Amino acid sequence: MIEAPIKTSSGGTDVFYGKEGPTEKQRIFRDAHHKYKLFGGGVGGGKTYALCAEGLRLSMMFPGNRGFLGRHEAEAFRKTTLVTLLNLIADMEQETGQRIIAHNGHNQTKKEIVLVNGSAIIYGGLGGREDMDRIKSLEIGFFCVDEASETVHEVINMLKARLRWKLPGGQYPRFFGLFASNPEPGWLKNTFVVPQQQGVPLDDHLFVQSLLKDNPWLPPEYLANLRRDNPESWVRRYIDGSWDAVEGQVWPDFDFQTHVLPNDECPVEIPYPIKGTHTVLGSLDHGQTNPTCFLGMYIDQDENILVYDEYYKKGLVSDHVLNIEEQFDLSSMEELVADPSIWDKNREKDGMEWSVADEYDERGIYLTKANNSREAGWNRVGEYFRPDKDHFHPFMEKKGSPRIFISKRCRNLLTEIPEYIWKKTSDTSANPKEEARKLNDHACDALRYGVMTRSSPYEQKRNDDAPVGSFNWIIKQRGNGIKKGRLVNR
């Protein structure tokens, strides 16, 4: 059933990827057995090329297979993805000396390419009404969607439901749904990227990040020019491949690979605080109908803030209290801060005016009013997120560290932060008042209350004010030539 892979004339490795074979990232994408695979990243990472190569491989591996290759907009598909596919086929035919497309096998009206082994690649757009009708009646063994974040999720679900093609011999091919995309918010990010970033990928789903720097087949100055000629948020998204670089973010310095632990560079889990060693804080954002968020954070001796756990749930105060007490050691917390508005006496109990804070108090959670100056809070959190060239990382021997780190356990906080963006303002004055968009910001608010209990890291000359025993204090004592040890856990 499965034909031997085609060899290059030189006996090379993988003719589906041209003379030179796949890049390292393309190889990872190719070899993973997951049914649904996303090859994503910045521009020019070799995504379209890999998608076409894999479509061709599945067609050649399973004679009589049928696959769909498409992109949201039919015209964009014809000008980009289809060109790559036809070029790849031409290269393969030249390299192997074999025909790949059957005689008269490319029917542009039917948008179908029939290969010599009887497999067919059906191609085209995914965004039009007639595209949808076409998909609805397909039976396929695989599909490949380029720039998949453009395509609506319903259409993708429809494609998934069409994966039931039977090969001429009566067997099923191995079914695959392959996607390529630049980093964009939406269903694709939420299906592949966020769960993988949070260490809980969906079953049979894999995201492989490929960046321009992973693709050696572009001119050397191309990368440098793109970096030079484009705005910072564009560079972060399309060159550095950040799926979290949304335009207008309140905290644009936030980066999964920097602020979230563990990450690829620093595999350290943020440890739970040690009573008596760390200053531990709790911060609460109470939601009446929205979820309530409680964050646990502590301050190490270098004034880094380590957010180690979160509670995030809808419900009654009584439930929150039970859950929070179970999840956190409140007795180790020096202060529990909360949104001052919960002290408003807008409830009634036994004929008395009553507040949400009273309810927490009655159940044994004694809160204090947070500083709810929003502009100052947004700014302060931003300062802690900002990498400082002189600041040492709490877990690695390197400078250039930010001052706040968030554990992967805090899933809701980590989902909210990249999506926390400034509201578009209609104020056209020179200094329009900035406002964060009110969406899911419960965990972001709790973060702000907690961080506002600390002073600005830039207000003080840190080395002068460094607490005794902190790394900056050690540097001051011994000069700059010493190595950094692990400070938080010692």
Ligand X SMILES: Nc1ncnc2c1ncn2[C@@H]1O[C@H](COP(=O)(O)OP(=O)(O)OP(=O)(O)O)[C@@H](O)[C@H]1O
What is the contact surface with Mg ion in residues (CB under 5 A)? 47-48
- Work out whether 48 is an interface residue with ligand X (CB under 6 A): yes
CB 194 within 8 A of CB 244: no
Pick from ligand X, Mg ion, none: which does 181 bind, CB < 5 to 8 A by kind?
Answer: none
Pick from ligand X, Mg ion, none: which does 23 bind, CB < 5 to 8 A by kind?
Answer: ligand X
Q: How far is the CB of 146 from Mg ion (least distance, A)?
A: 6
- Work out whether 17 is an interface residue with ligand X (CB under 6 A): yes
Residue 303 region, left (φ>0) first, then alpha (ψ -120 to 50), else beta? left
Segment near ligand X (CB under 6 A); pick from 16-24, 226-234, 324-332, 465-473: 16-24
Reported residue count of the chain is: 490
- Work out whether 24 is an interface residue with ligand X (CB under 6 A): no
Among 15, 43, 138, 444, binds ligand X (CB under 6 A): 43
- Work out whether 23 is an interface residue with ligand X (CB under 6 A): yes
Cα 484 from chain centroid (whole Å): 30
Pick 48 or 242: Cβ nearer Mg ion: 48
CB 146 within 8 A of CB 80: yes
Among 44, 55, 70, 273, binds ligand X (CB under 6 A): 44
Residue 438, judged by CB atoms within 10 A of its CB (0-12, 13-18, 19+), counts as exposed
Q: Which residue is nearest to Mg ion (CB)?
A: 48
Segment near ligand X (CB under 6 A); pick from 15-23, 357-365, 441-449, 469-477: 15-23
Nearby residues of 69 by Cβ (< 8 Å), 6 or more positions away? 51, 52, 55, 81, 85, 121, 122, 123, 143, 144, 146
- Work out whether 20 is an interface residue with ligand X (CB under 6 A): yes
What is the CB neighbour count within 10 angstroms for residue 102? 15
Segment near ligand X (CB under 6 A); pick from 21-29, 372-380, 414-422, 441-449: 21-29
Segment near ligand X (CB under 6 A); pick from 17-25, 164-172, 362-370, 376-384: 17-25
Q: Are strands 279-285 and 333-338 parallel, antiparallel or unpaired?
A: parallel
Q: How far apart are CA 490 and CA 452, in angstroms?
A: 26
Pick from Mg ion, ligand X, none: which does 218 bind, CB < 5 to 8 A by kind?
Answer: ligand X
Q: How far is the CB of 40 from ligand X (least distance, A)?
A: 9
Q: How far is the CB of 82 from ligand X (least distance, A)?
A: 12
Site for ligand X in 144-203 (CB under 6 A): 182
Q: How far is the CB of 157 from ligand X (least distance, A)?
A: 24
Pick 47 or 391: Cβ nearer Mg ion: 47
Pick from Mg ion, ligand X, none: which does 215 bind, CB < 5 to 8 A by kind?
Answer: ligand X
- Work out whether 45 is an interface residue with ligand X (CB under 6 A): yes
Pick from Mg ion, ligand X, none: which does 46 bind, CB < 5 to 8 A by kind?
Answer: ligand X
Q: How far apart are CA 300 and CA 277, in angstroms?
A: 8
Among 47, 57, 71, 259, binds ligand X (CB under 6 A): 47
Residue 472 structure tokens:
């900056």
Q: How far is the CB of 19 from ligand X (least distance, A)?
A: 8
Q: How far is the CB of 18 from ligand X (least distance, A)?
A: 4
Among 15, 16, 25, 26, binds ligand X (CB under 6 A): 26
Site string for ligand X, 194-233 (x = CB under 6 A): ---------------------x-xx---------------
Footprint on this chain of ligand X (rule: CB under 6 A)? 17-18, 20, 22-23, 26, 43-49, 182, 215, 217-218
